[in-house]
Amino acid sequence: MTALLVTGGSGKLGLPTVARLRTDGHDVRVLSRREGEGHAVGDLRTGVGIRQAVDGIDTVLHLATRNGRGDVALTRTLLEACRSAGVRHVIYMSIVGVDRISLGYYREKLAIEQLLASSGVPHTILRATQFHDLVARLFSMQRHLPVVFAPSFSFQPIATEDVATRLAELAVAEAAGRVPDIGGPEQLPAVDLARQWERAASVQRRIVPVSLPGRVFAGYSAGYNLVPGPASASQTFADFLAERHGTRA
């Protein structure tokens, strides 16, 4: 049984990851600012309790994010505590294309990857494509507009459960630096994904493709957010929508 600490353990990815690790029989603590069953109390923003939270931990899965608002500083605090405590492995969750798409949040994720590489702490970096929920939210936030705008590029959405499965595999492996990226089973134009969402959510709107100038849009249009090669996950976007809405697109 491995002793694990998960940051961001109550988030979209954290919840299925913690559940999978516990199902596999690991001793899992979730870093939290509040006391609770299975929690290790600590605050990455202030550093209070972090050194104590990593005591006796073999592997840390760093899934916490504030969407780029100081994530580098939070990670530096975590790594300093891990180095002091002799943590043998830190696993970091990143995003496909952070080194090629000029988005502020991506630049922050890339900076954290570089921080890990220079930290001297044994680590593994896993990049994944966009989660199903994020792609669905791109459309659902427009449900009250007269049309639904869809970017004129493709996504390769992946289930958080599939990413959690991969993280659980890495948690019992040796530190490996950056491992192969993981992506969903289908690469589909955003317009097609919008149509699937529209049917599943019973929303009748015209889908309007959108193309914008700038380096960020150009990076997505070039496919830098996609993973070439065979599929590394099983749940399709249609499967996700069927679970959420009870109807298949």
pLDDT given for residue 153 in this prediction? 97
What's the predicted TM-score (pTM) here? 0.95
Alpha-carbon torsion (65, 68, 70, 75), positive or negative: positive
Whether 248 has a pLDDT exceeding 80, the answer reads no
pLDDT given for residue 107 in this prediction? 96
Note the Cα 211 to chain centre separation in Å: 26
Q: What is the mean pLDDT of the segment spanning 6-28?
A: 97
Angle at CA of residue 158, ends 152 and 161, nearest 5°: 160
Angle at CA of residue 23, ends 20 and 24, nearest 5°: 90
Q: What is the mean pLDDT of the segment spanning 103-109?
A: 95
Residue written as token pair 């969407």: 67
pLDDT given for residue 167 in this prediction? 98
Alpha-carbon torsion (178, 182, 188, 193), positive or negative: negative
Q: What is the spatial distance between Cα 196 and Cα 245, in angstroms, rounded to a whole number?
A: 11
From its phi and psi, is residue 75 left (phi > 0), alpha (psi between -120 and 50) or beta? alpha
Report percent pLDDT > 90 for the chain: 91
Residue 213's CB: how many other CB atoms inside 10 A? 7
Residue written as token pair 């792609």: 135
Q: What is the mean pLDDT of the segment spanning 25-41?
A: 95
pLDDT in tens, 59-85: 999 999 987 789 999 999 999 999 999
pLDDT given for residue 173 in this prediction? 96
* 61 half-sphere exposure, CB direction, 13 A CA radius: 35
pLDDT in tens, 162-211: 999 999 999 999 999 999 999 999 999 999 999 999 999 998 889 999 99
Whether 26 has a pLDDT exceeding 70, the answer reads yes
Residue 160's CB: how many other CB atoms inside 10 A? 22
Whether 90 has a pLDDT exceeding 70, the answer reads yes
pLDDT given for residue 247 in this prediction? 67
Higher-confidence position of 230 and 22? 22
CATH architecture of 3-245: 3-Layer(aba) Sandwich (3.40)
Q: What is the mean pLDDT of the segment spanning 240-246?
A: 92
Q: Which residues contact 29 (CB under 8 A, 6 or more apart)?
A: 3, 4, 5, 6, 38, 39, 40, 53, 57
pLDDT given for residue 232 in this prediction? 81
Do 89 and 120 touch, CB atoms closer than 8 A?
Answer: no
Picking from 31, 157, 133, 37, the residue whose alpha carbon sits closest to that of residue 90 is 31
Q: What is the spatial distance between Cα 107 and Cα 93, in angstroms, rounded to a whole number?
A: 14
Whether 249 has a pLDDT exceeding 60, the answer reads no
CA distances from 209 to 136, 175, 201 (A): 16, 42, 19
